[in-house]
Amino acid sequence: MSEKNEIALTKIQQYQVKVIQEITETLKKSDCEVSPYGQKCMTNAIAGVVSYLKSNGKSFEDINLDLFRINIQNIGLLELNYASIPAELYVDVHGDVLTLKPQGAGNEKLTRKYGVNVLDLSQPWLVREGDEFTLPSFDGEKVNPPKWVMKSLDKKVIAIVYMLTKKDGTKEWLIAGREEVASNLIAQIRQNALYKFYKKDENGKYIYDKNGKKIIDTDAREEFYDSLNDRTLEDLLSDKSLREYISPSYLSGGSKEQMIIRKMKNNALKNYPREYDNAFVRDAVVDMFEEKDTTVIEKPEEVVDVEVKESAPKDFKVNEDGEIVKETKTQKEEVKVEQSKPVEERKIEVVPKEEIPQSPQSPEPPHEKSTYHEEDEDESDDEEENDSMEDFGF
């Protein structure tokens, strides 16, 4: 590895250590600890995002770092591993908001870990068109399990079925159908189309109310929303006028079916009751769950779902070119990051300006403030916490 690549790798590792240390220290002050495995998950997530950004010609300057750091905190609390096989997380991009969200094995993991009285959760049945499938039937307290006879391996999946075994030995069947994904798709379209209904003046500029928020044409918006109701999944996906609001993963022939299967798995599991260790963990699940993403983008230039590569190693680092590399003992010894001293909550120690030039902060319009902003913080704290990857040479 060249000296240039070694320096770049060290800077990535420095950023990983710095962010993880800040998150763990802040949570510790609230009597909430991130486990060593949770910290490993955060490390893998940051490294994986660096690789993703590099491979798409982007950098950390192109994403909202405040929301990204909250997402990394959630990953640590839930112990979801970006580098696991099968994948527990996928990359979701809306404008400048990049998040890692639970999918497939990730949601299965959350159900096994936090599901009420869960002893075991089976691998899902993928019921396809033409298969013989009978839904479970009920006779008082007696439950007759579903029956499934496979007839093909290549037709469309029309249902996902999980068998959940409880600690008392009873079975529960968690089932989701293909057409339920239409509701997920409508939610995405509504979210990404909201920018379309901001009122503009005769010069094409947005009109704001006295509080600095854009004014929405509610009549036009509701008319558009009503037009989406009672439409089938295939009808929505084939409507060319809606494609600018839909993730390309739904539209690409190579990923469309996998995307629909992933949504069906999530739908089958998401409503099973769960008990969390604390409010931090519960909020992490709420924040990460896809149906709770209320981000509004100005222009739907990029609405992307990206599958994690199944060949990714369990624990990895990323070099300057965004390539995943295994960490050697020598590399570990080269990385020595000074640990921050304990500081007050939300106060983050930064590298002195005379050592590393700071990039100017772009003012945030008053109507687009993050929903995670805490009003009782002063501006100086925000400036300290908004670390740019430029601080580490990116």
Per-residue pLDDT band for 306 (boundaries 50, 70, 90) equals very low
The pTM of the full predicted model, rounded to 2 decimals, is 0.66
Asked, for residue 333, whether it belongs to a domain, the answer is yes
Q: What is the mean pLDDT of residues 359-370?
A: 40
Quick check: helix, strand or coil at residue 100?
strand
Contact 110, 78 (CB under 8 A): yes
- Angle at which helices 65-78 and 279-288 cross, to 10°: 120
Query: Among 142, 146, 183, which residue's Cα sits nearest to residue 290?
Result: 183
Q: How many residues does the chain have?
A: 394
262 and 123 within one domain: yes
Per-residue pLDDT band for 166 (boundaries 50, 70, 90) equals very high
- Angle at which helices 3-28 and 36-55 cross, to 10°: 130
Q: Is the dihedral of CA 369, 375, 380, 382 positive or negative?
A: negative
- Helical residues (DSSP H) of 3-152, grouped into ranges: 3-28, 36-55, 65-78, 105-114
Q: How many CA atoms lie within 13 A of 306 on its CB side?
A: 20
Whether the per-residue pLDDT at 209 is higher than 50: the answer is yes
Whether the per-residue pLDDT at 374 is higher than 70: the answer is no
Q: What is the mean pLDDT of residues 119-123?
A: 95
d(CA 78, CA 82): 12
Whether the per-residue pLDDT at 321 is higher than 90: the answer is no
pLDDT value at position 146?
96
- 222-279 pLDDT tens trace: 999 999 998 999 999 999 999 988 888 888 877 889 889 989 999 999 889 999 887 8
Residue linked to tokens 């008082």 = 140
Whether the per-residue pLDDT at 365 is higher than 70: the answer is no
Token pair for 236: 């929505």
Largest Cα–Cα distance of the chain, in whole Å? 75
Whether the per-residue pLDDT at 282 is higher than 80: the answer is yes
Asked, for residue 294, whether it belongs to a domain, the answer is no
- 170-208 pLDDT tens trace: 999 999 999 999 999 999 899 888 778 889 888 889 899
d(CA 384, CA 358): 11
Asked, for residue 76, whether it belongs to a domain, the answer is yes
Question: Distances in Å between the alpha carbon of 50 and those of 44, 65, 188, 324?
Answer: 10, 13, 26, 10
* Cβ neighbours for 211, distance < 8 A, ≥ 6 positions apart: 366, 367
Cβ burial of 137 (10 Å; 0-12, 13-18, 19+) is exposed
Asked, for residue 289, whether it belongs to a domain, the answer is no
Domain closes at, from 272, 301, 317: 272
d(CA 40, CA 20): 9
Per-residue pLDDT band for 313 (boundaries 50, 70, 90) equals very low
pLDDT value at position 104?
84
252 and 122 within one domain: yes
- 58-99 pLDDT tens trace: 888 888 888 888 899 999 999 999 988 888 998 877 778 888
Asked, for residue 280, whether it belongs to a domain, the answer is no
- Helical residues (DSSP H) of 312-357, grouped into ranges: 329-334
pLDDT value at position 123?
93
Whether the per-residue pLDDT at 370 is higher than 50: the answer is no
Domain closes at, from 272, 301, 335: 272
215 and 81 within one domain: no
At 296, the amino acid letter reads: V
159 and 254 within one domain: yes
Whether the per-residue pLDDT at 108 is higher than 90: the answer is yes
152 CA to centre of own chain: 33
Whether the per-residue pLDDT at 319 is higher than 90: the answer is no
**DSSP strands (E only) in 213-343:** 303-306, 317-318, 324-325
Query: Quick count: other Cβ atoms within 10 Å of Cβ 78?
Result: 23
68 and 40 within one domain: yes
Token pair for 326: 């295994």
Whether the per-residue pLDDT at 8 is higher than 80: the answer is no
143 and 92 within one domain: no
Range of the domain at 232: 117-272
Asked, for residue 296, whether it belongs to a domain, the answer is no
Domain closes at, from 243, 272, 301: 272
Asked, for residue 286, whether it belongs to a domain, the answer is no
122 and 97 within one domain: no
Pick the residue with more confidence: 97 or 296? 97
Query: Among 76, 29, 91, which residue's Cα sits nearest to residue 309?
Result: 91
Whether the per-residue pLDDT at 35 is higher than 60: the answer is yes
316 and 255 within one domain: no
96 and 207 within one domain: no
86 and 126 within one domain: no
Question: Distances in Å between the alpha carbon of 373 and those of 67, 132, 383?
Answer: 10, 52, 13
| Number of domains the chain is built from | 2
pLDDT value at position 315?
45
Asked, for residue 284, whether it belongs to a domain, the answer is no
Token pair for 179: 């057409």
128 and 92 within one domain: no
pLDDT value at position 3?
52
262 and 130 within one domain: yes
* Cβ neighbours for 97, distance < 8 A, ≥ 6 positions apart: 63, 64, 67, 295, 297
User: What percentage of the chain has pLDDT greater than the value 70?
Assistant: 70
Per-residue pLDDT band for 14 (boundaries 50, 70, 90) equals confident
pLDDT value at position 55?
86
DSSP string, 234-263: HHHHH-GGGGGGS-HHHH-TTTHHHHHHHH
pLDDT value at position 238?
94
